[in-house]
Amino acid sequence: MKNTKINPVPVQFIPVLSFLLLLLSVTAQKNATNPIDVAAVTLVRSAFPALGLNSTLADPCLPTPYSWVTCNSDDNPRIIALNCGNKNLSGVLVDFSSMDALEIIDFSNNNLTQGFPDFLSKFPKLKELNLAHNNLSGTVPLSLENNKNLKLTLTGNQLCFSDDDVCPLSLKEKLKTIAFVIVMAACIIILL
């Protein structure tokens, strides 16, 4: 076997090569969606295969966003909207609260079946939350109802606003309860 002599890199080129390697590593990290958003949207995709679990696109924003995702135009894009209304989704929402750049969450007109997910009250930039016409039940934190910067649409569910775990009785339900108690008391009095 023939000996091959490798010439070492001249010392004066080492800083230039180091800079180029650094530049290449920064460029390689550029133009990729925020990794926290990628992990969270992957979790959402795994919970709802109808969103395209088998998609070959690993990055939800680049080069072209998923059809149900809106991204900002940063070099490292953030997901700012989940547009999952009318997607024939069934099941339970997984916690994607790590996506702290979300401004719009729309899961309307699906078949979500669970209590109101508390994590939905934790998005600092949220401007619109639409969960209309699902099968959600339970209590919605009062902070969402009182947030004047939030367009909140929850019609078509069995939800109420309360910071307690139980919905307060409506006036109609209170009147029914009072009427029942009066009828029962009258029956007891008659029997005595």
Q: What is the pLDDT of residues 107-154, one digit of tens each?
A: 999 999 999 999 999 999 999 999 999 999 999 999 999 999 999 999
Structural domain includes residue 57: yes
The pLDDT tens digits of the residues spanning 30-44 come to 689 999 999 999 999
Residue for token digits 């639409």? Answer: 130
pTM reported for the whole predicted model: 0.73
75 vs 55: CA distance, rounded Å: 23
- Residue of 83, 99, 100, 144 lying closest to 118 (CA atoms): 144
Structural domain includes residue 96: yes
CATH assignment of the domain containing 154: 3.80.10.10
Structural domain includes residue 178: no
Omega into 168 within 30° of 0, i.e. cis? no
Residue for token digits 């969103």? Answer: 51
131 vs 79: CA distance, rounded Å: 19
Structural domain includes residue 68: yes
Q: What is the token pair recorded at 56?
A: 């070959």
Q: What's CA 63's distance to the chain center, in Å?
A: 22
* Total domains, the chain: 1
**Domain with 42 in it:** 30-167
pLDDT band at 191 (very low <50, low <70, confident <90, very high): confident
Structural domain includes residue 135: yes
**In whole numbers, what is the pLDDT of the chain averaged over residues?**
83
56-93 burial, b at 16+ Cβ within 10 Å, e below that, comes to eeebbbeeebbebbbbeeeeebbbbbbbbbebebeeeb
Structural domain includes residue 124: yes
CB burial class (10 A; 0-12, 13-18, 19+) of residue 24? exposed
Q: What is the token pair recorded at 175?
A: 């009147």
Structural domain includes residue 16: no
Which pLDDT belongs to residue 25? 38
Structural domain includes residue 182: no
